[in-house]
Each structure stands twice: as structure tokens, then as C-alpha cells.
């Protein structure tokens, strides 16, 4: 059995395979019986599979049709350090404006500062009532900003927030997560004492949690070949030593920017001459693995189990 490490990396993304990428990759390498191939992740999205492949020292090609998703992932994977603007606070108005513009900051805002992480429609992460408090939290945690810390202390009659006053800007360091979690613990504890809804909301600084996911990708050791393309999966040239992994929009699900033609997709899969592995709920190919993902209830209270499956085109031979 060929061993695969799994550490759940990837950008926050609708339909992300972060939780499953290691298990899927393990199925793939064991089916083809080698790690000696280039994995073509043709519906790359938030890049969970690409990241798992990189982590395991296997060469990989990431492709994604949506230009903004592509732009952010490519940026994160090819830069040593994030620009200061990734650490800033963005108000509702600023985010609404920036998301319409071109450039990587716009792509960043769309993924990090959106409610949920659907990419078809941008809606700001926080409601108007909670936004000023989240801003104070952001300034305290990220910048150690004294004024914000004082305001929080005064608002909740405490001095607990003073721990963030380190007298220096430490926001780019690896301790961002430690500070965010500590902020969550403080607000949770205060909420138990004061029972204030605002404090309950303040326990999570979601934009920082997402930023940390990007930081973890940025810090990945990229020892092997990592290439990128931004196009339709059918336009990507596939070499003979490739193994293809495809995670297309699920049949019948809405929410992505483009409509997806499943008939054309099935035809394309059957025409490939290299191994193809497909993440889907249903597809007309051989199932080689399955995992119950979630149970949903319809309006008729009928229970549906969503079994996330891995399908295969039956080819295991790779030409090196």
C-alpha cells in the first residue's frame, strides 16, 4: 500500500475537498500502483487536491475555469509573502467596491470576505449590526491596536482584551492563529458572564480563519513541478504520463458561475486514454470508493444520504 499524507489544505471554497483530498489521493495512487505521474487537477477550485498532491511530493497541474478563483490560488501558491493589504480590515462598502475591480485583491476579497463561500454572488461577510465589533476584534488581534483594545475593554467592562496590546505589529507572524483563538476564548468566557449576543458573534473572526488557510498554502514546501492554467477542462493538453482528477460541479447543483454540460463531460471522460478519477454523487462510470458526506432532509421530510463517490474510467496504465 502506497502511503499518502493528508493535512486538509485548500482555500475556503464551495464544494472544497479539503476534508477528503488525502483519502482520494490515496485511492488514486493505489489504483495506478505508483506515484510516478503528473496529476492533472482539471476543476481545481480552492485547490484542495492540488495542495494534497504538492504535499506528497507529486508533480501537479492545477486548472480552473473561473478567472478570479484561478488568480487567487495561483498567487497564493507562487508568492513567499502576502502583501499588507491581505491583512487589512475591509468594510462592507469597501469590499462591495473592490470585488468589482480587477486584480488579485479583488479575488482575495471575494473568497475571504464573502458570506458562505459561494463564488457566483458576493455578499459581505458580516451584518451591519455586528460589523463595528468585528472591526474592533480585527484591529485588536491583527494590529494589536491600543484604541480598539481600550474600546473593547470599556464596552464589556473588562481588561481581558489588554493581552493583545503587545506594543508591536505582529500580524504577519505565524501567531495570527494563536491570537485569533485566544480572542475567541476571551469573548466566549465573557459571554458566559455577561450573556450578550454581541459577544457570541464576536467569538469567530472568520476572515482571519480563512486568511490562515491561505497562509498554510503559501507556506507549503513546493519541491516538485507545479503548473497552472485558466481554461475549460477540454482545452488542456494532457501528457501521456498524466493521471487526471476531476471534481466538476455536481449534477443538478446550482451556485457556480457557469452552467455545466454533464453529457459533454461524460463523453470527454470516455475518450481519455490516461487514468481519470471523478468525484461525483452519480456518474456512469465504475465506483471505486464512497463516503457518506451529509444527510439532507427534503420538504417532504424524506431523508437523503449524500454519498460522495470516486468514479474511475478503468485505465490504470501510465506511459512514462
Ligand X SMILES: C[S@@+](CC[C@H](N)C(=O)[O-])C[C@H]1O[C@@H](n2cnc3c(N)ncnc32)[C@H](O)[C@@H]1O
Q: Please report how close the Cβ of residue 10 comes to ligand X at its closest, in angstroms.
A: 5
Q: Which of 4, 10, 60, 211 binds ligand X (CB under 6 A)?
A: 10
280 binding ligand X? (CB under 6 A): no
| Residue of 32, 37, 45, 134 that binds ligand X (CB under 6 A) | 45
Using the rule CB under 6 A, give the single segment among 23-31, 45-53, 145-153, 268-276 that binds ligand X. 45-53
Distance CA 26, CA 155 (A): 51
From candidates 22, 137, 249, 275, binder to ligand X by CB under 6 A: 249
Q: Which is nearer to ligand X, 43 or 108 (CB)?
A: 43
Does 274 interact with ligand X (rule: CB under 6 A)? no
CA dist 319 → 24, 39, 184 (Å): 22, 13, 52
Q: Which residue has the cell 500502483?
A: 33
Under 8 Å between Cβ of 38 and 242: yes
| Count of H-run helices and E-run strands, the chain | 11, 7
- List beta partners, residue 277: 245, 312
Cα–Cα distance for residue pair 232/217, rounded to 1 Å: 24
User: Cβ of residue 167: shortest distance to ligand X, in angstroms?
Assistant: 39
H-helix or E-strand spanning residue 141: helix 131-143
Q: Which three cell numbers stand for residue 200?
A: 457570541
Among 22, 46, 137, 275, binds ligand X (CB under 6 A): 46
Site for ligand X contains 43 (CB under 6 A): yes
Using CB under 6 A as the binding criterion, the count of chain residues that bind ligand X stands at 25
- Closest residue to ligand X, Cβ-based? 45
Site residues for ligand X, window 219-248 (CB under 6 A)?
232-233, 247-248
Give the single-character DSSP code of 124. B
Q: Which of 281, 283, 253 is nearest to 267 (CA)?
A: 283
> Binders of ligand X among 68-87, rule CB under 6 A?
69
DSSP 239-307: -TTEEEEE-PPPTT---SSS---HHHHHHHHHH-SS-EEEEESS-SSEEEEEEEEEEEE-TT--EEEEE
Pick the closest to residue 74 from 40, 47, 111 (CA basis): 47
Would you say 95 or 217 has its CB closer to ligand X?
Answer: 217
Q: Which of 256, 277, 285, 289 binds ligand X (CB under 6 A)?
A: 256
Among 55, 64, 74, 308, binds ligand X (CB under 6 A): 64
> Whose CA is closest to 316, among 69, 36, 42, 113?
36
**For ligand X, which is the closer residue by CB, 51 or 186?**
51
Give the separation between CA 74 and CA 55, rounded to whole angstroms.
Answer: 16
Of residues 110 and 138, the one with the C-beta less far from ligand X:
110
Is 7 a residue that touches ligand X (CB under 6 A)? no
CB closer to ligand X out of 58 and 190: 58
| 66 lies in the site for ligand X, by CB under 6 A | yes
| Site track 181-220 with ligand X (rule: CB under 6 A), x = hit | ----------------------------------------
Mapped onto helix, strand or coil, the DSSP state of residue 11 is coil
Rg of the chain over Cα atoms, rounded to whole angstroms, equals: 22
List 9, 25, 32, 49, residue binding ligand X (CB under 6 A): 49
Binding stretches for ligand X (CB under 6 A): 10, 13, 15-17, 42-43, 45-49, 63-66, 69, 232-233, 247-249, 256, 258, 260
Amino acid at each position: 500500500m502506497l502511503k499518502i499524507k493528508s493535512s486538509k489544505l485548500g482555500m475556503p471554497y464551495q464544494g472544497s475537498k479539503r476534508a477528503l483530498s488525502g483519502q482520494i489521493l490515496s485511492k488514486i495512487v493505489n489504483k495506478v500502483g505508483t506515484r510516478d505521474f503528473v496529476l492533472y487537477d482539471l476543476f481545481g477550485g480552492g485547490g484542495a487536491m492540488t495542495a494534497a498532491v504538492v504535499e506528497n511530493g507529486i508533480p501537479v497541474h492545477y486548472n480552473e475555469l473561473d478567472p478570479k478563483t484561478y488568480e487567487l490560488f495561483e498567487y497564493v501558491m507562487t508568492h513567499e509573502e502576502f502583501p499588507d493589504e491581505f491583512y487589512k480590515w475591509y468594510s462592507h462598502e469597501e469590499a462591495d467596491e473592490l470585488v468589482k475591480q480587477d486584480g488579485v485583491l479583488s479575488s482575495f476579497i471575494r473568497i475571504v470576505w464573502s458570506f458562505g463561500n459561494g463564488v457566483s454572488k458576493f455578499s459581505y461577510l458580516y451584518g451591519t449590526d455586528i460589523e463595528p465589533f468585528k472591526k474592533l476584534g480585527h484591529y485588536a488581534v491583527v494590529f494589536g491596536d491600543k484604541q480598539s483594545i481600550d474600546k473593547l475593554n470599556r464596552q464589556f467592562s473588562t481588561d481581558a482584551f489588554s493581552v493583545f496590546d503587545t506594543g508591536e505589529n505582529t500580524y504577519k507572524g505565524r501567531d495570527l492563529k494563536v491570537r485569533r483563538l485566544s480572542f475567541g476564548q476571551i469573548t466566549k468566557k465573557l459571554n458566559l458572564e455577561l450573556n450578550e449576543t454581541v459577544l457570541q458573534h464576536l467569538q469567530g473572526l472568520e476572515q482571519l480563519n480563512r486568511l490562515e488557510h491561505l497562509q498554510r498554502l503559501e507556506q507549503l514546501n513546493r519541491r516538485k513541478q507545479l503548473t497552472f492554467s485558466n481554461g475549460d477542462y477540454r482545452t488542456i493538453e494532457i501528457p501521456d504520463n498524466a493521471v487526471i482528477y476531476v471534481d466538476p460541479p455536481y449534477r443538478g447543483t446550482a451556485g457556480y458561475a457557469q452552467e455545466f454540460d454533464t453529457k459533454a463531460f461524460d463523453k470527454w471522460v470516455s475518450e481519455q486514454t490516461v487514468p481519470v478519477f471523478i468525484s461525483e454523487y452519480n456518474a456512469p462510470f465504475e465506483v471505486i470508493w464512497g463516503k457518506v458526506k451529509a444527510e439532507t432532509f427534503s420538504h417532504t421530510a424524506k431523508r437523503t444520504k449524500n454519498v460522495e463517490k470516486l468514479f474511475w474510467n478503468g485505465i490504470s496504465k501510465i506511459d512514462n
